[in-house]
Amino acid sequence: MITLGLTGSIGMGKSATAQMFADAGCPVYDADAEVHKLYAKGGAAVGPVEAAFPGVAEDGAINRAKLSARVVNDSAAFQRLNGIVWPLLGANRRAFFQKAEEDGVDIVVLDIPLLYETGGERNMDAVVVVSAPADIQRQRVLAREDMNEAKLDAILARQMADEEKRARAHFIVDTSRGFEHARAQVRDIIAALRRPDWRELTLVAAREAPQ
């Protein structure tokens, strides 16, 4: 079974790309969705996160907006948060892999936003980076509710530069040319990974990386 890491900076279209892999029959582990569960009422992260950042819990759940305000401009606080959350995700990941093995699937996708930043690529057989030109990225993100230039710049400051991610990727999905183009790239990646010589292939799905 091939473990494929899926990552990309904010606004690049990673979630949509993850759904394309799922639609193609590749089980997807969504790290963000699992974190949401940990932050929800009764979630395993609520107690330790509130202890580390007093005042971010409301009605038994973590208020993500309050938590974000505490860590967005503080790299040490962000690392402390990751130190709490990432170990809690381990049991869910193990259950995901167990089910995939029982189902006999040949490719699983781990959707992890900060894959390179946390060194998670070392646990992957290959990595897909979802990318788009910087102007399109900014346009997408700034269209979101409660987003502004300062907040976006703070988020980008703690993420590895898109250029570096693309340089380190095995495959790139360019989402700037529409859903069908991206979906075709996903199909190409899956086909490449099912070839016996897939480890020798790089950037098969997106021969023209976004600039």
The one-letter code for the residue type at 189 is I
Distance CA 99, CA 47 (A): 29
pTM, full prediction = 0.79
pLDDT of residue 158: 84
Give the pLDDT of residue 130: 97
**Which pLDDT tens digit goes with each residue over 141-173?**
999 988 999 989 988 988 899 999 999 999 999
Q: What is the mean pLDDT of the chain?
A: 90
> Where does the pLDDT of residue 210 fall: very low under 50, low under 70, confident under 90, or very high at 90 and above?
very low
Q: How far is CA 169 from CA 184, 194, 201, in A?
A: 18, 18, 11
Question: With bands split at pLDDT 50, 70 and 90, how would you rate the model's confidence at 211?
Answer: very low
**pLDDT exceeds cutoff 50 at 206:** no
Count CA within 13 A, CB hemisphere, residue 128: 35
Count, residues in the chain: 211
Does the pLDDT value for residue 85 go beyond 50? yes
Specify the range with the lowest mean pLDDT, choosing from 18-27, 28-37, 49-58: 28-37
User: Over 80: is that where the pLDDT of 34 sits?
Assistant: yes
2-27+106-200 classified as CATH 3.90.1150.10: no
Taking the C-alpha atoms of residue 7 and residue 147, their distance in angstroms, rounded to an integer, is 21
What amino acid is encoded at 61 in this protein?
A: A
pLDDT at 203 over 50: no
Provide the pLDDT confidence category of residue 202 given band limits of 50, 70 and 90.
Answer: low
| Domain limits, the chain | 2-27+106-200, 30-104
Q: Distance between CA 78 and CA 62 in Å, rounded?
A: 15
Q: What is the mean pLDDT of residues 47-63?
A: 95
Which residues are 109's β-sheet partners? 4, 28
